[in-house]
Amino acid sequence: MASQLMDSPNPLRIAVLAHLHHPIRSPYAGGMEAHTAHLVSHLGSRGHEVILFAKEGSEQLSPQSRVRIHPVLAHSFVVNGYPDEDQRNDQHLLLDAAMDKAVQTIRTGEFDVVINNSLSPIPHAQLRGIPVLHILHTPPLPRIVAQLKTEKTDPLHRYATVSESNAALWRPWLEQLQVVSNGINLDFWATQNTCHVELGTAAWSGRITPEKGTHLAIEAARANGLRLFIAGPIQDQEYFDNLIAPKLGERTVYAGHLDQGGLRELIGASEVFISSPLWEEPFGLTTLEAMACCTPVAATPAGAMAELLGTTGGAIASESTAEALGVAVGHARSMDRAAVLARASRFTHELMIQTYESMMNEILDEAFSTRAQR
């Protein structure tokens, strides 16, 4: 199983910019929040001094951690899903002001390097001349693309994204884009010795929104006679009320918004995990977590799903329909659970963190060289 991360030989003072829609705390609002929490935790455990600029309400993961929280946006701020142009502009103004405050604090601080783990264009524009590692977690966003079009890439900025499929979408603007897959703590998720698999059960977890396809998972489970447990935050109430809630009952159960321990128990006890994205899923952290629980995955053919599953982590549907996903569920549920875990072991937090460290050191070497030339 995965080994503990060793201390970094070159500890750094790192500023990390979080996505500001939600606090960084468990239970996590989504994959970006979970990634940010684990990123700063592992960097702190490596001996780096980390300041996390995040929404108020973010929580310290461990009293012994070398991570400190710097809140920049009020906890009372709630993202309303951008229902119209005026609302979008108002929300962007508030989010941009908070990110601008974080960036100005960083510019006057004494940080070796910045990790931009946000979805904001502000760090791309206002951190020029400062060493920055940008991690791109989504398909191209118009406001960031506009910035990349108007400004030459800063030589002290490096860019990473989480999958080959997502990299292909960004490369028209970023030729030098490195793929660094998300990684997880396998020691935490692997449950083959602690969970009894309940035959006839399936699990689904994630943000409950239309693009995550929860409704497809319900139909695919029913087609296989499986009892489905759904877990995650309801981020589109109308979608939940109209398409999910009417189907709940004895055979389809909403388990609530679970922390990671609860998810581990639920997924590890399931015969199959259903992943049903209907957008270009950049990675799919819940899919990897399921594989690390030894639970085979049935997935729609969206974004990075095929990269994650390979041929041993689960089954990919032929198309993004309930019928095709149901067929994939039938294939996945009989797959070798040991092979599923072996596939997950390719995506470790050790490899992720060490690759980020290598990229940060490359940036700092470039900064040193630039200063020497001047």
CA angle 272, 302, 142 (to 5 degrees): 135
- Together in a domain, 213 and 337: yes
Q: Convert the pLDDT of each residue in 336-349 to its tens digit.
A: 999 999 999 999 99
pLDDT of residue 2: 38
pLDDT of residue 113: 98
Percent of the chain surpassing pLDDT 70? 93
Residue 295 belongs to a domain? yes
Q: Convert the pLDDT of each residue in 97-135 to its tens digit.
A: 999 999 999 999 899 999 999 999 999 999 999 999 999
- Together in a domain, 191 and 78: no
pLDDT of residue 1: 35
Neighbouring C-alpha atoms within 13 Å toward the C-beta of 86? 0
- Together in a domain, 213 and 177: no
- Together in a domain, 332 and 190: yes
Q: Convert the pLDDT of each residue in 48-91 to its tens digit.
A: 999 999 999 998 766 567 899 999 999 999 887 766 777 778 88
What does the pLDDT average to over 274-281?
97
**Contact (CB, 8 A) for 253 and 229:** yes
- Together in a domain, 259 and 126: no
- Together in a domain, 173 and 251: no
**DSSP characters over 160-219:** EES-HHHHHHHTTT-SSEEE----B-HHHH--TTT---EEEEEEEES-BSGGGTHHHHHH
**Contact (CB, 8 A) for 309 and 299:** yes
> What is the number of residues in the chain?
374
Of 191 and 143, the structure prediction assigns the larger pLDDT to: 143
Residue 1 belongs to a domain? no
What does the pLDDT average to over 330-357?
96
**Contact (CB, 8 A) for 267 and 205:** yes
Asked if omega into 83 is within 30° of 0 (cis), the reply is: no
- Together in a domain, 298 and 283: yes
What does the pLDDT average to over 224-245?
97
- Together in a domain, 239 and 322: yes
pLDDT of residue 92: 87
Percent of the chain surpassing pLDDT 90? 84
Residue 8 belongs to a domain? no
Confidence of residue 6 (pLDDT cuts 50, 70, 90): low
Q: How far apart are CA 38 and CA 32, in angstroms?
A: 10
- Together in a domain, 274 and 175: no
Q: How far apart are CA 347 and CA 135, in angstroms?
A: 17
Show the domain range for 201.
Answer: 186-344
CATH number at residue 307: 3.40.50.2000
pLDDT of residue 153: 85
Neighbouring C-alpha atoms within 13 Å toward the C-beta of 333? 24
Of 50-54, 58-62, 152-156, 184-188, minimum mean pLDDT range: 58-62
pLDDT of residue 62: 60
Q: How far apart are CA 181 and CA 285, in angstroms?
A: 10
Residues 6+ apart with CB under 8 A from 212: 206, 276, 277, 278
- Together in a domain, 98 and 227: no
Asked if residue 190 has pLDDT above 90, the reply is no
pLDDT of residue 369: 76
